[in-house]
Structure 1
Amino acid sequence: MTSEDNQEHYLVSRMPFQQAGAAEVLRAAQKDKGFLDHLKSCLSEIVQRSAGTKVWLDIHKHAEILCEFIYYCLTTLCLHQTLGEEYTGVLQVDHSKRKLPHTFKRVTMVILQCFGPEVIRRLLSKLEDSTRSGKLSGYLRPDLKNIILHQMPTLKYSLTLLHRIHLASFYFTGAFYHISKRITGIKYVLVREWFGDTSASKSFQILGLVLLTHILLTTVYTAYSHFFIKSSSESTQSSTKCFVESKKQCPLCLDERKHSSVTPCGHLFCWQCIQECLQTCQQCPLCRHSALPSQVVPLLNYD
């Protein structure tokens, strides 16, 4: 009998298991992130000492993604708990909560979790660059090209908004902390029921309500700024202001940078744009390098 058969027999014989709550799932994810950050830090030190800082800056995005992929290959894909899952006593199961996730689901989940954000970022960047450079001129009408460029910030914000709504849903239900697990239907159950913290569910539901309120207010303010404040300001500007040099452009809002600020990895953004972005995901939007809001440095008198 294989290891997978043994674990599935154990699941069936012990069912029903209690579904893991938001506290256990979140703690497991935090533990895994902390361990991955340590692995990435060790890899960074090894590469920089052996090949130099320049080489690491050139490959660090790919190296960090590869490091994360190897970690989940050695754990999830091999039917082992990750260190975070083992620490909190949770186990991945399929939607029935009676069997381990099928191999195809586990592979899909790992690929989406490791490569999904980078693939989406590259596709959006490729679409924007191709539209701006005129490579799609033979396929797009000029008015459609302008619409795509004009709506690109809205599309990027929509992805951020989708992630926040997903996070609020997790706070309410305690399931699917990662979007990759929501897509594949992989849930968590408690292996040690006495280890669960049922008292924390109300607190997380309140947190989810606060997050939904913040999403609503932010969306209303963004829509108001886009349709009223921005349109009125654009009508007073001359047509020569429509073009923004790439070196002065914020990668998030695509307008001229306001209050230029730099992340630890050296990328420049508007102060407000990068602060709002890091509230959702504490990584640089361009290279996925770890970045905290407190690590962003505002630049004075920077052109």
Structure 2
Amino acid sequence: AGLRSGAGTALRGLAGARPWLQWRREVELLSDVAYFVLTTLSGYQTLGEEYVNIIQVDPSKKKKKVPSFLRRALFISLHAVVPYCLEKALLHLEHELQMEAEESRSPENPPALGFPSRTLIRSWIRKQVGELTEQQKKTASQIVYVLKQSIPLLHRLHLAVFYIQGTFYHLSKRITGISYLHFGGLQGEDQNIRSSYKFLGIISLFHLLLTIGVQMYSFKQKQRARQEWRLHRNLAHQKSTSKEAAAGRQSRCTLCLEERRHSTATPCGHLFCWECITAWCNTRAECPLCREKFHPQKLIYLRHYQM
């Protein structure tokens, strides 16, 4: 944390706040890698390990030994590099999927900030997304959403298991099999501390299950709201279409069977085109529909009539 803070402060002082915000995650990554290379990879204890008198060991050996160089390098990669790459990959993938869904991508995109490989990764993701079908893009969006929601839950589950078992604080150490050997201190005191941590782990598991239940319920509510909205939108579209069709049928003249022009009403209330009904009245002075007799002077020309 101190190395992160110092590197961030130095970059902010030299380059300003804007470059620091753009490169903040990369500075944190370089700080973490530098710290673990100088300590764990070099075979030394970290400050925290030295403070509590613990050393890293390889439990796969019958005799406790310091983890091999390859195992320590794998731990650093899983602990610092892989989470950064996964976070950036999901971020770029989500961005590209949203841009494809909105169909609003500009012809010239601004250059990506960060490592030089970041542009290559982003262009590769963009190329792969462009080759997907619409159904595959929807599936990919769902997978990205599930991963973003499940990764923090996985870390919380691993932390609760650590509280109960007392080994492998980091998920990367559980994967590489690196545990700790404590030297010095009182065993009875350690047992009391471990018992309290087990209780904390049980509470953490219960809270995690409650969180998962709430998220699943919220997800189902969102799905239900989306289905109801789609149904409402479809019904509204059908109603508007039927209204337009009905309006189109009602706005037709029964004499020429075309849309009414210069709507004119007879005394009995039926509507016709002005030209059609006046031509009709030249031969018959009656309504073409109900046959009610009337004088042509009784025709009413409707101004600004929409239907």
TM-score interval, normalised by the smaller of the two chains? 0.5 to 0.7
1:59 to 12, 23, 28: 23
Q: Quick one: which amino acid aligns to residue 115 of structure 1? A: V
Considering only CA atoms, is the larger Rg found in Structure 1 or Structure 2?
2
For 1:240 and 1:119, the matched residues in 2 are separated by 42
Task: Tell me the CA shift for residue 151 of structure 1.
Answer: 4.1
Q: Quick one: which amino acid aligns to residue 76 of structure 1? A: T
Q: Deviations over 1:137-195 (max 9, x none)?
A: 65433222112223432221111221111111100111111111011000001122438
CA RMSD of superposed structures (Å): 2.3
Q: Quick one: which amino acid aligns to residue 212 of structure 2? A: T
Aligned to 1:146: 138
1:220 aligns with 2:213: yes
Q: How does 1:263-278 map to 2 (within 5 A)?
A: none
For 1:113 and 1:137, the matched residues in 2 are separated by 28
Aligned to 2:162: 170
1:111 to 77, 102, 111: 77
Aligned to 2:40: 76
Q: Quick one: which amino acid aligns to residue 119 of structure 1? A: C
For 1:224 and 1:55, the matched residues in 2 are separated by 41
**Cα–Cα, structure 1 residues 142 and 44, in superposed 2: closer, same or farther, change >3 Å?**
closer
Task: Tell me the CA shift for residue 40 of structure 1.
Answer: 2.2
1:205 aligns with 2:169: no
**Cα–Cα, structure 1 residues 58 and 145, in superposed 2: closer, same or farther, change >3 Å?**
closer
Higher relative contact order (CA 8 A, sep 6+): 1
Aligned to 1:246: none
TM-score of the superposed pair, with normalisation by structure 2: 0.61
Q: Deviations over 1:201-241 (max 9, x none)?
A: 111111111111111122122212212x2122213336999
Number of equivalenced pairs: 204
CA contact (8 A) 2:3 2:35 kept: no
* Ranges in structure 1 where 5+ consecutive residues have no aligned partner: 1-36, 242-303
Q: How does 1:188-199 map to 2 (within 5 A)?
A: 188-194=180-186, 197-199=190-192
Aligned to 2:109: none
Q: Quick one: which amino acid aligns to residue 10 of structure 2? A: I
Q: Quick one: which amino acid aligns to residue 158 of structure 1? A: S
TM-score of the superposed pair, with normalisation by structure 1: 0.62
